[in-house]
Structure 1
Amino acid sequence: MNIIRAKEITQDPDMKDVEYLGKSVYILSVDEESKKALVRYREGSDETVEVDVRQLNENE
């Protein structure tokens, strides 16, 4: 995923289907400078993880 799309998703009121390494996540925030996103897994954990935006995939 590119940084622009990741930022759009964080601002969109509709939930988007985004995955990180095959697991569904919410994008909480995006840092343009570092190209990192703070994500939270949708199921099974309240853990937040900072990941490279390019490792995120949006399912249509």
Structure 2
Amino acid sequence: MNIHRAQEILAADEKIHVELNGLPVWIDSVDSGKATAKVHAEENPADSRVVTVQELEEVH
């Protein structure tokens, strides 16, 4: 995924499915300067981490 798409997903009103290594995640924030995103696992909101946006995959 690119930084622009990650920002669009973060701002979207509807739910857009995103995965990190095959696991569903929510994007909490995007740092465009570092090209990273803070995400948390859908099933475990306490499981948050910062990853590069390239690691994220939009699921259609």
Report the TM-score, using the length of structure 1 for normalisation: 0.94
The answer for unaligned runs of 5 or more in structure 2 is none
Runs of 4+ aligned residues of structure 1 deviating over 2 Å after TM superposition are none
Which amino acid in structure 2 is aligned with residue 14 of structure 1?
Answer: E
2: distance between equivalents of 1:29 and 1:11? 10
Deviations 1:6-56 (A, max 9, x none): 000000010111000110000001000100000010014522100010000
**RMSD (CA atoms):** 0.9
Report the TM-score, using the length of structure 2 for normalisation: 0.94
SS in 1 for 2:25: strand
Structure 2 residue 28 is the aligned partner of structure 1 residue 21: no
Q: Kindly tell me: are residues 3 and 13 of structure 1, through their superposed partners in 2, closer, same or farther at Cα, counting changes over 3 Å?
A: same
2: distance between equivalents of 1:28 and 1:45? 10
Match of 1:53 in 2: 53
1: distance between equivalents of 2:33 and 2:26? 20
The answer for unaligned runs of 5 or more in structure 1 is none
- Count of residue pairs brought into register by the alignment: 60
